[in-house]
């Protein structure tokens, strides 16, 4: 793991996926060999962000972790984006583009991680509804500053799996794609240290369409087959492969 401490903002860190990402990032800090990154929760409301930060620390303490070894701070979305070097967008697709407009100047030269999936409910099941750009990730790239480094990742891991920092028995594959090789490598390194997540290189950002479309499929599989949550853990790489 890169020895340089990072400031990582989770915008929308008060929702289910956001809460899970915050806990996983904090878990990375709590590992003996983990880099002590600073975690920031962004929200439209500073009060809501502060409460989410307190909740995350309390949950970690209840699980037996020493939270003096990690930092979780609540801020407004704009302040969080300004403070961070890496920004994770854990919000609904219909809110993404307005948020990007709000924080546009703050995300110049920043790494933007998108686990965003544009989907709707049709006939009781979820359906993938990408924008005209082809995927949420490509829409984010188009509407973000040209210098922003967009990475698509974490689409197919259920919120409950992310929040489960104690049991954490199954290893879940986390596909990562980007046109920026260095940004992709950094996100894969972060993922590898987040506990029970295995990063896999998914190729360039144009592959985000395929990655995003898997999410409604997994949700539908869970519903149709009476399963609590579905992800995939069957993909493997040779043990000598470096990521």
Averaged pLDDT for residues 118-137: 97
Residue 194's pLDDT is 84
Residue 151's pLDDT is 99
Is 1 a member of any domain? Answer: no
Using CA atoms, how far apart are residues 207 and 188, in angstroms rounded to an integer? 16
Averaged pLDDT for residues 2-10: 81
Is 203 a member of any domain? Answer: yes
Residue 166's pLDDT is 66
Is 89 a member of any domain? Answer: yes
Q: Which residues pair with 152 in a beta bridge?
A: 114, 177
Give the pair of three-digit tokens for residue 166. 């104690």
Is 12 a member of any domain? Answer: yes
Residue 206 domain boundaries: 7-224
Averaged pLDDT for residues 116-144: 97
Give the pair of three-digit tokens for residue 214. 């898997």
Least confident of 29-38, 69-78, 126-135: 29-38
Percent of the chain with pLDDT over 90: 67
Residue 56's pLDDT is 94
Give the pair of three-digit tokens for residue 108. 């110049």
Residue 34's pLDDT is 62
Count CB-CB contacts under 10 A for residue 105.
10
DSSP H helices in the chain: 16-30, 46-62, 77-83, 93-103, 136-143, 159-163, 181-192, 208-224
pLDDT grade for 243, boundaries at 50, 70 and 90:
very low
pLDDT grade for 241, boundaries at 50, 70 and 90:
very low
pLDDT grade for 232, boundaries at 50, 70 and 90:
low
With beta carbons less than 8 A apart as the criterion, state whether 183 and 149 touch.
yes
Q: Which residues pair with 76 in a beta bridge?
A: 43
* CATH number, domain containing residue 150: 3.40.50.720
Residue 131's pLDDT is 98
**What is the tens place of the pLDDT at every residue in 19-68?**
999 998 998 877 766 667 899 999 999 999 999 999 999 999 998 888 88
Using CA atoms, how far apart are residues 18 and 14, in angstroms rounded to an integer? 6
Who has greater pLDDT, 235 or 110? Answer: 110
Torsion of CA 194, 65, 90, 109, to 10 degrees: -60
Is 159 a member of any domain? Answer: yes
Residue 120 pLDDT exceeds 70 = yes
Averaged pLDDT for residues 149-176: 84
Averaged pLDDT for residues 104-111: 98
Specify the number of domains making up the chain.
1
Is 241 a member of any domain? Answer: no
Residue 1's pLDDT is 45
pTM for the model: 0.91
For the chain, what is the mean pLDDT?
Answer: 89
According to DSSP, the β-strands at 86-89 and 71-76 are unpaired
With beta carbons less than 8 A apart as the criterion, state whether 89 and 98 touch.
no
Is 232 a member of any domain? Answer: no
Is 240 a member of any domain? Answer: no
């Amino acid at each position: 793991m890169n020895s340089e401490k990072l400031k990582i903002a989770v915008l929308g860190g008060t929702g289910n996926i956001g809460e899970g990402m915050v806990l996983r990032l904090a878990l990375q800090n709590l590992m003996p060999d983990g880099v002590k990154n600073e975690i920031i929760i962004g929200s439209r409301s500073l009060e809501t962000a502060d409460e989410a930060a307190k909740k995350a620390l309390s949950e970690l303490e209840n699980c037996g972790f020493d939270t003096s070894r990690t930092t979780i701070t609540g801020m407004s979305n704009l302040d969080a984006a300004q403070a961070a070097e890496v920004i994770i967008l854990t919000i609904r697709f219909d809110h993404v583009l307005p948020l990007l407009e709000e924080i546009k100047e703050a995300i110049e030269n920043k790494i933007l991680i998108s686990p965003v999936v544009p989907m709707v409910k049709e006939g009781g099941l979820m359906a993938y509804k990408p924008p005209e750009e082809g995927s949420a990730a490509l829409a984010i790239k188009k509407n973000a500053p040209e210098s922003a480094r967009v990475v698509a990742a974490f689409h197919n891991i259920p919120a409950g799996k992310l929040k489960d920092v104690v049991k954490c028995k199954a290893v879940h594959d986390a596909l990562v794609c980007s046109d920026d090789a260095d940004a992709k490598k950094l996100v894969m390194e972060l993922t590898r240290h987040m506990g029970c997540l295995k990063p896999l290189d998914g190729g360039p950002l144009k592959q985000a369409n395929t990655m995003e479309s898997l999410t409604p499929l997994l949700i539908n599989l869970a519903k149709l087959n009476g399963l609590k949550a579905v992800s995939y853990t069957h993909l493997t790489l040779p043990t000598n492969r470096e990521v």
